[in-house]
Amino acid sequence: MSGNRVACIDLEGVLIPELWPMLADSSAVAELALTTREVPDFRGLMERRLALLRAHRLRLCDVLEHLRRAQALPGAPAFVAGLRRSHRLLLVSDAFAPMVGPLVRQLGPGLDLECHDFETDDSGFIERCVFAPRRGKEDVVRRLQAQGCEVLAVGDAFNDLAMLAAADQAFLFRPSPQVASAAQDLSTVTDYAQILRSLA
């Protein structure tokens, strides 16, 4: 593993499925299906999601139960292992720790994860989001670069674009049509092997 090469990898849509659409399907609350692949305003999106969860009487434990069968994307654990041969890996996600914890464990041992968290009330409803200390994912890249690191970034959605633009090497992974048309200057890939080949 090289000391100064760091890979900042998004989780949902890159290594694991989009969890909110899965929750929407399982709970039959269709409006929960919108993601950062369609909506650029992440904090506004979260306010909407928390209001929907409360309106439909879904507590954090109910959310986790709906996501119990979620699996990492096919090939993702092998991709993670491949990347770790040349890079220190940092998962940089706008997901929430309780929702992604079990999936991150499927991806490999001892992975570093930077994501957000929830605060619940006494009844177990999600009261508010506790956001990671950054304005956007690009802050993580710049912090690493300031420490002398060379940063590779992979992401799929609007909330990744600034991170991808700041990185030394970047890939847009299977973007939605809306994201692809907003980021025509980025290299778009459709499978993990394309990324690993570029590192060889």
- Binds Mg ion by CB under 5 A, chosen from 9, 12, 72, 99: 12
Give dist(CA 188, CA 36) in Å, integer.
17
N residues, the chain: 200
Q: How distant, in Å, are the alpha carbons of 28, 38, 79, 107, 121 from that of 153?
A: 34, 20, 14, 17, 36
Q: Nearest approach, Cβ of 21 to Mg ion (angstroms)?
A: 12
The pattern of x and - marking residues 93 through 112 that bind Mg ion according to CB under 5 A reads --------------------
Other C-beta atoms closer than 10 Å to the C-beta of 127 total: 15
- Binds Mg ion by CB under 5 A, chosen from 6, 13, 53, 171: 13
Active site residue 12: yes
Cα angle: 140, vertex 4, 111; to 5 degrees: 60
Side chain identity at residue 200, one-letter code = A
- Binds Mg ion by CB under 5 A, chosen from 10, 16, 22, 72: 10
- Name which of 10 and 138 has its Cβ closer to Mg ion: 10
Site residues for Mg ion, 139-168, by CB under 5 A, read 156-157
- In the bound state, the residue with its beta carbon closest to Mg ion is 13
Residues that bind Mg ion (CB under 5 A): 10, 12-13, 156-157
